Amino acid sequence: MRIHLVSLFRFIPRCSILCDIFKLLEVLVRTPVSVRRGHTITLPCWNNPPQSADSLEVSWYRNYDAPIMSYRGKKFENASQDASYVGRVSFGLKDAASAGLTEGDVSLKLEKATVKDAGDYICYVSSERGYDRATVSLSVTEVGTSPLLSAVWEEDNMLNMSCESEGWYPTPYLRWSDGKQLLQSTRSLRYSEDSSGLQSVHSWLLVSSSSEVSCSVGIFDEEPKEARVRLKSPPLIVNVTLQTGNPHVKIKGCIVRDGGGPFPDGDGVTCLTAVTGTRGFSSGQHYWEVSLRIYDNVPLKESWWVGVTSRAVLPTESDFSPTTSNGCWFLSSSPDGLQFNMEPSVSLPVSSRPQTVGVFLDYDHGKLSFYNVEEGCLISSLTTTFKGEIFPLFNPGKGDISSMKVLQREEPGGSCGTKVFVSDIISLHLKPFCIYKSMLLVNSLRNYWDLSHVS
């Protein structure tokens, strides 16, 4: 008889008897679920068939060390609750039609989700007739900041583009594109994590100066954020050589200051202490920079002229007026502020004096623009009609203890050492609220830079 029973069991579906016993209590879940960081989410879990869970034992776990939420004897047991969930968990409803515990809905409502909440959650239900458990997977997401692009000029008209974004979860992807195809970063891709678990990403890419480049950052199932820059050609930076021979100024390489006086025409700033630079320009676009604070222990220079002139040699007669009608166009500084040498002179409102002035000459369009290099913004521009050759103009003023320095691109064996333009290391920050200040020359050099930002 035992042999016949054993044979019979071989044809019974596996676990059918035991399962019938324990299936008196079955737990069902809906998984996976997802929530944005800081928001509220419900992890669905319920009894099947529906039966009141009011008198059942219900526990939710991440691991079995301490419950996230424990319910027994129609009340919550908080003594052993995981401290990180205190005040953030309660019973929720799996859907709008749910009647809650009375129909066996033991879903977990989780408030103020953090990235550390991501993972598997165990829903455990027990009664006198048995127990069951099931797992719900929770993913937590956070969309980070719009990408911040920066650009640094390198050799051979190449740009070292940098893209960074922060505040993402989970780890975001970063993609470079030229508008036609994805670009592979040959430099690096780095990730970092802050104390709250949010991820940051930073990547570099070397690109041609005549191309479109975009950087997009995103996570699965979310719209990526993108920053884009269109590069048409580099700023036409030139090296300027100071003309020597003026006995009223001292020139050492690229540094110029007054000769110390006394001056035959008095203490007022005149063309007596002005010098021109070479080479001259009769077409095209040209850019150079002048530093007004070259030593940390010397105050910022207050007395100076920076601009252009149509005169290769400036008159030194006291009756010569260096105005625009006489072929001089410059920005000047005095203790009273900044001025254009118009007729009459025009005072310029500025929040701070520049430490480095960038000069952009657009000969063909008759425009001369001046920039505060450190702040990356336009000081002001003037328009005129240039005729003949135009030369850079500099004047260190009189009686100012500070010198001025014409900055140069690094050249092997150059007389001015290895100083490079300050603008070469100013980042091109593409922020939605401040795109016009993103880089030196952004606004006026629209012929060279076409910038757009897409969130």
- How many helices (H) and strands (E) in the chain? 2, 34
CA end-to-end span of the chain, whole Å?
Answer: 78
Picking from 212, 229, 204, 217, the residue whose alpha carbon sits closest to that of residue 154 is 204
CATH number of the domain within which 222 lies: 2.60.40.10
How many structural domains are present in the chain?
A: 3
In this structure, are 282 and 327 located in the same domain? yes
pLDDT at 187: 60
In this structure, are 92 and 178 located in the same domain? no
In this structure, are 223 and 284 located in the same domain? no
Helix, strand, or coil (residue 72): strand
In this structure, are 245 and 371 located in the same domain? yes
Strand order in the sheet with 108-110: 41-43, 108-110, 89-91
Taken in order 44, 48, 50, 54, the sign of the CA dihedral is: negative
pLDDT tens digits, residue range 125-176? Answer: 998 888 999 999 999 999 999 999 988 777 666 778 899 999 999 999 999 9
In this structure, are 88 and 196 located in the same domain? no
Query: Is there a contact between 353 and 416 (Cβ–Cβ < 8 Å)?
Result: no
In this structure, are 279 and 159 located in the same domain? no
In this structure, are 358 and 379 located in the same domain? yes
What is the overall mean pLDDT for the chain?
82
Picking from 90, 112, 114, the residue whose alpha carbon sits closest to that of residue 40 is 112
In this structure, are 296 and 381 located in the same domain? yes
In this structure, are 91 and 165 located in the same domain? no
Q: Which of 141, 160, 192 is the last residue of a domain?
A: 141
The fraction of the chain above a pLDDT of 70, given in percent, is 82
Q: For the residues 75-103, what does the mean pLDDT come to?
A: 94
Alpha-carbon Rg of the chain, whole angstroms?
36
In this structure, are 180 and 308 located in the same domain? no
Query: Best-predicted range by mean pLDDT among 135-144, 202-211, 295-304?
Result: 135-144
Structural domain of residue 186, as residue ranges? 148-234+444-454
Asked if the structure places residue 435 within a domain, the reply is no
Asked if the structure places residue 5 within a domain, the reply is no
In this structure, are 97 and 227 located in the same domain? no
Asked if the structure places residue 2 within a domain, the reply is no
Distance of CA 437 to the CA centre of its chain: 13
How far apart are alpha carbons 199 and 205 in whole angstroms?
20
